[in-house]
């Protein structure tokens, strides 16, 4: 029993470390499941398999999203208990299908990715810490995401883990070694030949990011409004010398509800007109009796060009799902009362001399972890994406790095630039290849430091949709087929016996 618990602890900690910012943390994902497989593979009863698989899931999520405790302890525990069930289900299937053959490798890998897909949608979705995200620094390997999205990368990692387990349990090991080499080799070869083909652009736009590092505890303090806005103005004045085509402030950068205290928004407009700059900022807005988390584009003449109201709200953060049953939670944890937007807004950006134009869309907060939202923006004509966010809630933790990893995949899946502007970091530019250029503050710190950063981004006149962008659910459909075939094959073999 102690051996089983030790193996479970090693596996859950190793998998959690693969989502940490350490230099070679991505390596842990390739063998993180191994001790977990050895642990449950030796168990005899389904009840024990379920219990220890559930323990694996609970420990993994406790280690991975520990930063949620800074916001809500109760929510942290409830979410961990729910997410752990996916490991429990996977463990039961693994124990049932642990016989070594290539069908089972593909079946179990498909099951894991389908679980990731389902938890990204069920109950409004929590697509955090998908296995593929652990590889966001592994540039050559993740280029396959433009074919099958992050799901394809997750599938390959899972298959390697299962193959390694079979490798250790077989006398004849050659075919399993060759299969691992095939999976990793085909990924690296695709990346090697795909990357050079992406370095072409027809026009360039110079974009500036402002990272103010406003502490969460003063962000909505009435007495701090002038201090906050002046900080934005001071940083923005410094970046104006770069002559940017667009300046970006992070999510909810206006320190009040726009319509309730219009004085501060007027100060922003006056600043824009005076300096003749295009400004994108986040604000809480009030429309028709409802509050929205909004992105606003102000042109250099002070005109509001477009607004985008956040479509995918944070459950139990920005609203309460099934308020009839969970309404009591607003007295326990800090929950907003926002309405969701309905339109996939595409903004139009004109350069200061009106010679060039392009389009972009905005992902607010954690909307970048949902591939379909980015897909819909690109489908509607956006040439690049911007993520404005505020990760100050989660302190000096791994949360901003985990959040960043999702943005990398949205850039690769759609082959567009994705710009991140975060209150406390991580801010920077992500190229269509997935390369990250960070905004670094004092002592090269990426989080909880203020700063500004300007960089040109290249835009093609006619963006060719990626295979993934054209068929975003094709690979998931293939996985459902593999899963269904595996179930039928297993039942048929048991019936014949």
* Active-site residue, selected from the candidate residues 306, 310, 413, 433: 310
**Alpha helices (runs of H) in 240-362, residue ranges in sequence order:** 262-275, 323-326
Active-site residue among 306, 307, 318, 365?
365
CA distance 491 to 376: 40
Please say if 48 is a catalytic residue.
no
Residue 32 Cα to chain centre, angstroms: 21
What whole-number distance in Å separates Cα of residue 271 and Cα of residue 283?
16
Which candidate in 251, 306, 318, 433 is catalytic? Answer: 251
150 neighbors 133 (Cβ within 8 angstroms): yes
Does the annotation mark 256 as catalytic? no
| Rounded Cα distance, 308 and 358, in Å | 17
The closest alpha carbon to 72, from 251, 328, 389, 329, belongs to 329
Q: What is the DSSP letter of 405?
A: H
The SS3 call for residue 429 is: strand
Sign (positive or negative) of CA dihedral 410, 416, 417, 419: negative
Comparing C-alpha atoms, which of 88, 390, 419, 396 is closest to residue 254?
390
Q: How far is CA 340 from CA 294, 322, 337, 382, 403, in A?
A: 10, 15, 10, 21, 21
Residues carrying an active site annotation: 251, 310, 365
């Amino acid at each position: 029993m102690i051996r089983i618990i030790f193996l479970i602890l090693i596996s859950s900690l190793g998998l959690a470390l693969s989502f940490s910012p350490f230099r070679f943390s991505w390596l842990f994902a390739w063998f993180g499941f191994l001790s977990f497989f050895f642990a449950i593979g030796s168990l005899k009863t389904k009840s024990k398999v379920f219990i220890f698989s559930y323990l694996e899931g609970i420990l993994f999520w406790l280690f991975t999203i520990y930063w949620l405790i800074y916001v809500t302890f109760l929510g942290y525990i409830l979410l961990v208990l729910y997410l752990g069930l996916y490991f429990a289900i996977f463990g039961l299937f693994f124990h049932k299908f642990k016989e070594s053959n290539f069908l089972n490798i593909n079946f179990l890998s498909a099951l894991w990715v389908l679980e990731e897909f389902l938890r990204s949608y069920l109950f409004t979705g929590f697509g955090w810490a998908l296995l593929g995200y652990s590889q966001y620094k592994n540039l050559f390997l993740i280029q396959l995401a433009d074919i099958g999205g992050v799901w394809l990368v997750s599938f390959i990692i899972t298959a390697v883990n299962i193959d390694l387990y079979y490798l250790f349990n077989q006398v004849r090991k050659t075919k399993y070694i060759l299969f691992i080499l095939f999976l990793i080799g085909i990924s690296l070869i695709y990346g090697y030949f795909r990357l050079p083909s992406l370095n072409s652009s027809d026009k360039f736009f110079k974009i500036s990011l402002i990272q103010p590092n406003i502490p969460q505890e003063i962000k909505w303090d009435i007495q701090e409004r002038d201090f906050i806005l002046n900080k934005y103005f001071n940083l923005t004045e410094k970046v104006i010398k770069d002559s940017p085509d667009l300046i970006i402030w992070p999510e909810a950068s206006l320190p009040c509800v726009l319509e309730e205290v219009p004085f501060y928004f007027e100060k922003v407009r006056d600043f824009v007109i005076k300096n003749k700059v295009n400004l994108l900022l986040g604000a809480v807005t009030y429309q028709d009796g409802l509050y929205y988390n909004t992105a606003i584009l102000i042109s250099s003449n002070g005109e509001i060009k477009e607004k985008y109201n956040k479509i995918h709200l944070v459950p139990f953060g920005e609203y309460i799902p099934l308020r009839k049953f969970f309404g009591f939670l607003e007295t326990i944890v800090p929950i907003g009362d926002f309405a969701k937007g309905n339109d996939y807004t595409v903004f139009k950006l004109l350069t200061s001399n009106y010679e060039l134009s392009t389009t972009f869309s905005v992902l607010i907060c954690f909307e970048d972890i949902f591939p379909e939202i980015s897909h819909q923006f690109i489908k509607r004509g956006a040439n690049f994406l911007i993520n404005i966010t505020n990760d100050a809630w989660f302190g000096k933790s791994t949360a901003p790095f985990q959040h960043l990893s999702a943005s990398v995949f949205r850039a690769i899946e759609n082959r567009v630039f994705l710009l991140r502007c975060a209150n406390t970091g991580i801010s920077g530019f992500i190229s269509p290849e997935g390369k990250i250029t960070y905004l670094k503050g004092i002592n090269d710190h990426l989080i909880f430091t203020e700063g500004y950063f300007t960089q040109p981004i290249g835009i093609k006149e006619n963006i060719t949709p990626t295979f993934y962008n054209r068929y975003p659910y094709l690979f998931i459909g293939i996985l459902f087929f593999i899963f269904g075939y595996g179930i039928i094959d297993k039942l048929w073999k048991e019936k014949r016996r």
